[in-house]
Amino acid sequence: MASSISICRACLTRPSTTLMGSTPRLLRPTSDIQRLLLPTTSTVQSLILTSAFSTTPALPAGGGAVNRAKMKSSKLKQTKKKKAKTHFKIWNHAELPKYALTEAMRYIRAFEVGNDLRQAKYDLAVKIYTVKNGPAVKNRIQLPKAVNTDIRICVFADGKKAEAAREAGAVVVGTKDVWEQIKEGVINFDRVICASDVFQEFQKTGLGRVLGPRGLMPSPRTGTVVTNPAAIISAMIGASEYRERQGVVRIAIGQLGFTPDELRDNIKVFMDQLAKDLARIEDFDKRINEVVLGSTHSPSFSLSGEFENIGREEDFDITPEAVEGAEATEATPVAAVA
């Protein structure tokens, strides 16, 4: 998992701090004795005393200033030699509070109050542990509930297919009456799909002059002449693209009016596909580090992977068990990667 790195860092820092904290306490009772003994005894003993608590070599008396200067210069050299970072920076966020989906949504809805429920979008950012100059993730996804539903689709079909198309979400459906409308100049849609059985009839109308310049002309080559228009409509409405930029994948995951269940399904499907995308890039190690949910006008919330919080009011009262358990449930796609 991604947090394995961060945990290691924590482990490395912890023992040193505890040691440093304990040294003065241990030294205090012996300090008087030490002071008495120091002038008479050799420096060897003092060396032992200090080296017991710190790994740095004890400095001989008198040469402190010189040594410090040397150390400074050596440090400067070290910083100059430092290599440029190959990976995008990731942080250890294991101990920081995280939010269940419903909790985050409640806050977001509060911050977004008074805004249009269709315009404002939930926005998911996935932080990835990745090299800077490697291949980036880029793909297109079909979410269970589409985010961009503004696209207005026109379908040339009749009979059962027309009904099915209308159910699937087409705005304008029909054959001859629609063509006449188009001839008059009424075009209130962005995409056109034609059923294959009506296509010959459609070609005779000579609407290419009207539709062609607008890029709306259906043709089998672009895949807009099909036997079953209803199946394509949902794909046309719902598809959304995402790509990795600066080690983060961002995507609009839902409209503000979505229910928690709908949003959860969207997030689940997206995370599954993202995990597959990451796994497909073989030579490079890519792992998911953090998942953050925000929206157009609200702050962002680091997600814990739970759906609902039970019996927790305060955001700082989170128990580590809850977080770990949640990560395990959400991390199923992640585990497959790592």
Report the site for other proteins in 69-88 (rule: CB under 8 A): none
7 binds other proteins (CB under 8 A): no
Q: How many residues bind other proteins (CB under 8 A)?
A: 26
Following CA atoms 46, 47, 48, 50 in sequence, which dihedral angle do they give, to the nearest 10 degrees? 80
Residue in 224, 164, 144 with CA at minimum distance from that of residue 189: 224
Which CB, 80 or 89, lies closer to other proteins? Answer: 89
CA distance 279 to 323: 25
Angle formed at CA 144 by CA 192 and CA 171, multiple of 5 degrees: 25
CA distance 149 to 9: 45
Question: String of b and e for 265-298 (b: at least 16 CB within 10 Å)?
Answer: bbbebbbebbbebbeeeeeeebbbbbbbbbbbeb
Which CB, 122 or 179, lies closer to other proteins? Answer: 122
Among the listed ranges 12-20, 47-55, 58-66, 92-100, the one in contact with other proteins (CB under 8 A) is 92-100
Q: Are 153 and 236 a contacting pair, CB within 8 Å?
A: yes
Strand partners for 56: none
- Position among 44, 61, 84, 110 found at the interface with other proteins (CB under 8 A): 110
- Position among 19, 91, 138, 324 found at the interface with other proteins (CB under 8 A): 91
Helix H or strand E segment including 66:
helix 64-81
CB atoms closer than 10 angstroms to residue 139: 14
Centroid of chain to Cα 45? 57
Report the site for other proteins in 289-328 (rule: CB under 8 A): 290, 292, 299-302, 313, 315-316
- Position among 127, 191, 286, 287 found at the interface with other proteins (CB under 8 A): 127
- Position among 50, 107, 269, 325 found at the interface with other proteins (CB under 8 A): 107
What's the closest the beta carbon of residue 18 comes to other proteins, in angstroms?
19
- Position among 49, 111, 171, 322 found at the interface with other proteins (CB under 8 A): 111
Contacts of 165 (CB under 8 A, 6+ apart): 155, 157, 173, 193, 229, 230, 233
Report the site for other proteins in 230-269 (rule: CB under 8 A): 248, 259-261
CA distance 239 to 10: 41
CB atoms closer than 10 angstroms to residue 177: 9
Among the listed ranges 8-16, 103-111, 139-147, 197-205, the one in contact with other proteins (CB under 8 A) is 103-111
- Position among 23, 46, 93, 240 found at the interface with other proteins (CB under 8 A): 93
What's the closest the beta carbon of residue 334 comes to other proteins, in angstroms?
18
- Position among 125, 136, 210, 239 found at the interface with other proteins (CB under 8 A): 125
Among the listed ranges 15-23, 26-34, 52-60, 107-115, the one in contact with other proteins (CB under 8 A) is 107-115
27 binds other proteins (CB under 8 A): no
113 binds other proteins (CB under 8 A): yes
Strand partners for 130: none
What's the closest the beta carbon of residue 124 comes to other proteins, in angstroms?
12
What's the closest the beta carbon of residue 12 comes to other proteins, in angstroms?
18
State which amino acid sits at residue 90. I
Return the structure tokens found at 162.
Answer: 């027309």
Which CB, 115 or 228, lies closer to other proteins? Answer: 115
Interacting residues with other proteins (CB under 8 A):
91, 93, 96-97, 106-107, 109-111, 113-114, 125, 127, 248, 259-261, 290, 292, 299-302, 313, 315-316
